[in-house]
Amino acid sequence: MPAEPSNTQRRRFNSAERTALYLAADGECQRCGTPLQPSWHGDHIQPYSAGGPTDVINGQALCPPCNLQKGSTYMRLRKWQEDGLRRFLGVQGDFLVVATPGAGKTTFAVQAAKAMFDRGEISNIIVIVPTAHLRGQWGSAASREGIKLDSNFVNKNQQVARDYDGVVATYQSVAASPILWRKLACDPRKPTLVILDEVHHAGDAENLAWGTALGTAFGDAHRRLSLSGTPFRSDGKAIPFLNYDAARRVVPDINYDYGMALQDQEVVRPVAFPAMDGEARWRFASEHPVAQKLSETDPTTIAAALKAALAPTGEWIPSVLLRAHEELELMRMDKPDCGGLVVATDQASAHAYAEILRRQTGERVDIAVSDDPAASDVIKAYGKSDSHWLVAVQMVSEGVDIPRIGVIVYATRIRTEMFFRQVVGRCVRKQGDEDDMCARVFIPSISQLLAFAAAVERTVDAVLADEESKVRRSTGEGDGTERATPRIPEVIGSSAAAHAFTINSGDAFDEEELLHARRLGQQAGLPPGTEASAIARLLRLTGSSAKPGATPEPQVEQTLSERKKEIRNLIKRKVGQFSRMTRKPHSHIHNELNKAFGERSIDQATAETLSERLVILDRWIADA
């Protein structure tokens, strides 16, 4: 007789097994004892993803909250994810999750699908993503939880192989054949969860009518889960399957945006925005040349000035790239694999910027453009390497996971807040608890981008209100599109960039203040890559002056506890640096230090032995 199929071929308890689990539990949750409701979960005691068999001897009946809590011990779910999962599984209908890059939208969605599979509510999953590159990322994320998704499906296949739990495809694929996708998603014999990743793309490319196609394809699906970090569109078009209030603003079911995550200090990094000024020169046909600083532009000249500044033949963009590279080198002294990203307007500019960086640095520069069939492989390889720069057009504006990016040059003419936030999102994801880096996004000093930078920590609710208001009163001028300057400017040139100021947490710090702050940081022994605006902001918050020559405010003497806490934080950063250099686990390095001083933990160390630990770490790092 043939061998019984392994649990890798069946992850869900069947009806007979669920009945046995219910009877064995006497109708009560086996963790908390509450009476089981119809939505109870058949749970694997040893997780399915860890090889646990789908067998009654490895099963237990749990209420949904207990199963989610148990799952969090394996997935380390964040609080917003646990709260959101309880809410999602407790309701029916469309559900929108708004979460900042790095917060774990994909993890949330995979866990939601896993829970629905486990309680027998669905037997199929369809994930729709904006780019082909994201298909592989979703396939890998789902596979880690035992969900098998076909990430190579194409429309001509017509059917998904039976050994898959579902499929990952792009919005473009759905638009090309919405009837096919309706057949795949709306079979009542095969209840389907449809996950729409970065759902604001619905409605893009009017000639494809993506929004209409999605309605046709998934309007009758069993359940729809939408994900986005920026759930609004600057053109004011409604996004399919989202709920709107009376003022036509999107209403998220769960909101965990950048401003909220920054307060938690666990998910995202802070970001500083060096604003680069300079003179742009252009002319229109039959008119005299115009020369204007970026900081002095208005809605009638912004588009032309920005085009001139970003032209690779001028002096502005090469000088910005050089300054960004110098900043990246400082950051790599503390984080050796820190990388930089240049976001260009078009492919010609991307190749030109890459060539400028090659000449300036003498190093290879990766390029990812949509016309290159190997672009996804380029992005994936860059994410795993320690090379300096990646230049791209829009392929990495959202969704792509490259946590090592710490510096971005915003060298695109797109001026919508949605796109701006998507780009900033590429550098905010923290790499573990030891990551205390402040990312940098170099921007032209034009009013729109400065306003976006100053408001980047606002919650999405506030941004949505502003966006909707702008759309309603828009007259076609200054709304973030090129309609403000319908004529095509002829680029003459541009001056070298001048650093006007840096925006950090909504405050602006000029060059004088930043230089003084950097000197103080060096005197205090801070890592060379420490963001000067962060030091200057700290000085302001503590009542000190960051201007040279100013009379300092009297300082309260630091307590022993405060002094030891600062030293411990520095030790942790150095341990992180040494771990990255040697691949030794943090715990192993701390244990070696504890043994050296006969102490059980760093928390029991004296101020003297803490200082001696720093000396030892400096020696280890130098030797490494």
Q: Is the dihedral of CA 179, 182, 187, 188 positive or negative?
A: negative
Residue 400 confidence (pLDDT): 63
Residue 563 confidence (pLDDT): 66
**Cα–Cα distances in angstroms (integers) from residue 274 to residues 108, 124, 242, 451, 504, in the given order:** 34, 47, 36, 13, 9
Average pLDDT over residues 409-421: 89
Q: What percent of the chain has pLDDT over 90?
A: 32
Q: What percent of the chain has pLDDT over 70?
A: 84
pLDDT at 479 exceeding the cut of 70 = no
Which range is most confident: 167-171, 232-236, 510-514, 573-577? 167-171
Task: Give the pLDDT band of residue 71 (cuts 50, 70, 90).
Answer: low
Which range is most confident: 93-107, 327-341, 372-386, 545-559? 327-341
Residue 28 is given by DSSP the state B
**3 state SS of 222:** coil
Task: Give the pLDDT band of residue 228 (cuts 50, 70, 90).
Answer: confident
Residue 459 confidence (pLDDT): 57
Bigger pLDDT: 262 vs 486? 262
Per-residue pLDDT tens digits for 92-132:
999 999 888 778 889 999 999 999 998 889 999 999 998 88
- Edge-to-edge order in the sheet of strand 498-504: 366-368, 389-392, 339-344, 405-411, 439-444, 271-277, 498-504, 507-510
Pairing of strands 59-62, 41-44: antiparallel
Residue 229 confidence (pLDDT): 79
pLDDT at 25 exceeding the cut of 80 = yes
pTM of the prediction? 0.62
Task: Give the pLDDT band of residue 355 (cuts 50, 70, 90).
Answer: very high
Residue 480 confidence (pLDDT): 44
347-361 vs 316-334: helix crossing angle, rounded to 10: 60
Tokens of 393: 């057009």
Residue 9 confidence (pLDDT): 56
Task: Give the pLDDT band of residue 2 (cuts 50, 70, 90).
Answer: very low
Bigger pLDDT: 611 vs 413? 413
Lowest model confidence (mean pLDDT) among 134-143, 337-346, 463-472: 463-472
Per-residue pLDDT tens digits for 146-155:
899 999 999 9
Lowest model confidence (mean pLDDT) among 76-80, 140-144, 259-263, 608-612: 259-263
Which residue is it, tokens 């792009």? 170
Domains and CATH numbers, the chain: 1-76 (3.40.1800.10), 91-256 (3.40.50.10810), 266-278+317-485 (3.40.50.300), 509-541 (no CATH), 560-623 (no CATH)
